[in-house]
Amino acid sequence: MNWIDIGSLDDVPMRGARMVKTRAGCIAVFRTGEAEIFAASNTCPHRGGPLSEGIVHGTRVTCPLHNWVFDLETGNALGEDARITTYLIRIEAGRILIDGAALGRRSAA
Amino acid sequence: MSKQRLVVIGAGMASGRVLEHLTDIAPDAYDITLFNAEPRGNYNRIMLSPVLSGEKTYPEIVTHDEDWYAKRGIACRFGEHVTAIDRAARTVSGQNGTSAYDKLLIATGSAPFIIPVPGKDLPGVVTYRDLDDTDAMVAAAHKGGAAVVIGGGLLGLEAAAGLALRGMAVTVVHLMGHLMERQLDEAAGYLLKRDLEAKGITVLTRASTKAILGKDRVEAVLLEDGTTLPADLVVMAVGIRPETRLATDAGLTVARGIEVDAQMRTSDPDIYAVGECVEFDGHLFGLVAPLYDQARVVADSLLGRDSAFSVKDVATKLKVTGCDLFSAGDFRDGPGREDIVYRDPARGIYKRLVIEGDRLVGAVIYGDTADGNWFFGLIKDRTDIEEMRETLIFGPAYQGGATADPLSAVAALPPEAEICGCNGVCKGKIVAAIEGGAGDLGAVRTTTKASASCGTCTGLVEQLLQLTLGDAFQMPAAQPICGCTDRTHEDVRRLIKTIPLKSQEAVWQELGWTTRNGCHVCRPAINFYLLADWPLEYRDDPQSRFINERKHANIQKDGTFSVVPRMWGGITTPGELRAIADAAEKYDVRTVKVTGGQRIDLLGVKGEDLPAIWADLNKAGLVSGHAYSKGLRTVKTCVGTDHCRFGTQDSTGLGIKLEKTLWGSWTPHKVKLAVSGCPRNCAEATCKDVGIICVDSGYQVSVAGAAGMDVKETERLADVPTEQEAIDLTIAFIQLYRENAKYLDRPYKWVAKVGLEWVKARVVEDIEERTRLISSFELSQSIYRRDPWAEHAAKRAEAYAPLADLTLEAAK
Quick check: B413 pLDDT over 80? Answer: no
Question: B659-678 pLDDT, tens per residue?
Answer: 999 999 999 999 999 999 99
Domain boundary among B262, B282, B302: B302
Q: Is A50 on the interface with B (CB under 8 A)?
A: yes
Contacts of A26 in chain B (CB under 8 A): 802
How does residue B811 score in pLDDT terms, banded at 50, 70 and 90? very low
Is residue B333 one of the residues assigned to a domain? yes
Question: B699-724 pLDDT, tens per residue?
Answer: 999 999 999 878 999 999 999 999 99
Annotated domain spans of chain A: 3-103
Higher pLDDT, B449 or B774: B774
Contacts of A65 in chain B (CB under 8 A): 555, 557
Quick check: B349 pLDDT over 90? Answer: no
- SS3 breakdown of chain B: % helix, strand, coil, rounded to 5? 35, 25, 40
Is residue B727 one of the residues assigned to a domain? yes
What pTM does this model have? 0.52
Q: Which residues contact B241 (CB under 8 A, 6 or more apart)?
A: B110, B111, B113, B256
Nearest CA in chain A to B516: A58
Residues B669 and B751 placed together within one structural domain of the fold: yes
In CATH, what number is assigned to the domain containing residue B334?
3.30.390.30
State the pLDDT at residue B704.
96
Is residue B434 one of the residues assigned to a domain? no
Q: For chain B, what percent of residues have pLDDT higher than 90?
A: 59
Contact B546 A55 (CB under 8 A): yes
Residues B148 and B39 placed together within one structural domain of the fold: no
State the pLDDT at residue B165.
87
State the pLDDT at residue B793.
92
SS3 label, residue B426:
strand
Contacts of A82 in chain B (CB under 8 A): none
Containing domain of residue B721, as a range?
639-786
How does residue B500 score in pLDDT terms, banded at 50, 70 and 90? confident
State the pLDDT at residue B422.
67
Nearest CA in chain A to B200: A79
Residues B481 and B521: beta-carbon distance below 8 Å: yes
Nearest to B543 among A50, A56, A96 (CB): A56
Compute the nearest-CA separation of B233 from chain A (Å): 24
Question: B454-486 pLDDT, tens per residue?
Answer: 556 777 888 888 888 887 777 665 578 888 887
Higher pLDDT, B543 or B458: B543
Residues B136 and B48: beta-carbon distance below 8 Å: no
* Positions of E strands within B15-166: 30-36, 42-43, 62-64, 75-78, 82-86, 91-94, 97-100, 103-106, 110-112, 125-127, 146-150
* Positions of E strands within B660-803: 671-676, 690-695, 698-703, 706-707, 711-712, 715-720
Domain boundary among B383, B404, B425: B404
Residues B647 and B761 placed together within one structural domain of the fold: yes
Higher pLDDT, B191 or B246: B246
Nearest to A6 among B523, B559, B803 (CB): B803
Contacts of A53 in chain B (CB under 8 A): 547, 550-551, 555, 607
Contact B520 A58 (CB under 8 A): no
Q: For chain B, what percent of residues have pLDDT higher than 70?
A: 95
Return the closest-CA partner of residue B84 out of B246, B265, B273.
B246
Q: Is B83 on the interface with A (CB under 8 A)?
A: no
Domain count, chain B: 6
State the pLDDT at residue B476.
62
Contacts of B559 in chain A (CB under 8 A): 48-50
**Counting runs of H as helices and runs of E as strands, what totals does chain B give?**
27, 41
State the pLDDT at residue B671.
97
State the pLDDT at residue A107.
38
Compute the nearest-CA separation of A46 from chain B (Å): 11
Helix intervals (H) in B62-179: 66-71, 131-142, 154-165
Residues B46 and B184 placed together within one structural domain of the fold: no
Contact A109 B542 (CB under 8 A): no
User: DSSP secondary-structure letter at B109?
Assistant: -
Residues B560 and B591: beta-carbon distance below 8 Å: no
b/e sequence B438-454, b meaning 16+ C-beta within 10 Å: beebeebbebbbbbbbb
Is residue B435 one of the residues assigned to a domain? no
Nearest to B547 among A11, A64, A100 (CB): A64
Higher pLDDT, B314 or A96: A96
How does residue B403 score in pLDDT terms, banded at 50, 70 and 90? very low
State the pLDDT at residue B399.
67
Quick check: B120 pLDDT over 90? Answer: yes
Higher pLDDT, B442 or A92: A92
What's the average model confidence in pLDDT over B285-289?
83
Contact A48 B811 (CB under 8 A): no
Contact A20 B812 (CB under 8 A): no
Higher pLDDT, B598 or B755: B598
- Mean pLDDT in chain B? 89
Nearest to A7 among B195, B516, B803 (CB): B803
Contact A58 B197 (CB under 8 A): no
Higher pLDDT, B265 or B645: B265
Contacts of A34 in chain B (CB under 8 A): none
Domain boundary among B529, B545, B561: B545
Is residue B430 one of the residues assigned to a domain? no
Question: B353-369 pLDDT, tens per residue?
Answer: 888 888 898 888 888 88
Question: B143-179 pLDDT, tens per residue?
Answer: 889 999 999 988 899 899 889 988 899 999 998 888 8
Higher pLDDT, A55 or B453: A55
Distances (CA, A) of B379 to B356, B375, B376: 11, 6, 5
Contact B520 A105 (CB under 8 A): no
Please name the residues between 567 and 626 in chain B that touch chain A, using a CB distance below 8 Å: 607
How does residue B441 score in pLDDT terms, banded at 50, 70 and 90? confident
State the pLDDT at residue A106.
41
State the pLDDT at residue B755.
84
Q: What is the CATH number of domain A3-103?
A: 2.102.10.10
Is residue B446 one of the residues assigned to a domain? no
Quick check: A104 pLDDT over 80? Answer: no
Quick check: B244 pLDDT over 80? Answer: yes
Residues B509 and B586 placed together within one structural domain of the fold: no
Compute the nearest-CA separation of B550 from chain A (Å): 9
What's the average model confidence in pLDDT over B491-511?
85
Nearest to B547 among A21, A53, A106 (CB): A53
Residues B216 and B335 placed together within one structural domain of the fold: no
ipTM of the complex: 0.90
Contact A109 B812 (CB under 8 A): yes
Q: What are φ and ψ of residue B570, in 5° steps?
A: 80, 15
Contacts of B550 in chain A (CB under 8 A): 53
Residues B514 and B484: beta-carbon distance below 8 Å: yes
Residues B279 and B385 placed together within one structural domain of the fold: no
Is residue B460 one of the residues assigned to a domain? no
Contact A79 B809 (CB under 8 A): no
Q: Is B195 on the interface with A (CB under 8 A)?
A: yes
Q: Among B185-189, B397-401, B509-513, name the one with the lowest average pLDDT.
A: B397-401
Nearest to B523 among A4, A19, A55 (CB): A55
Question: B673-704 pLDDT, tens per residue?
Answer: 999 999 999 999 999 999 999 999 999 999 99
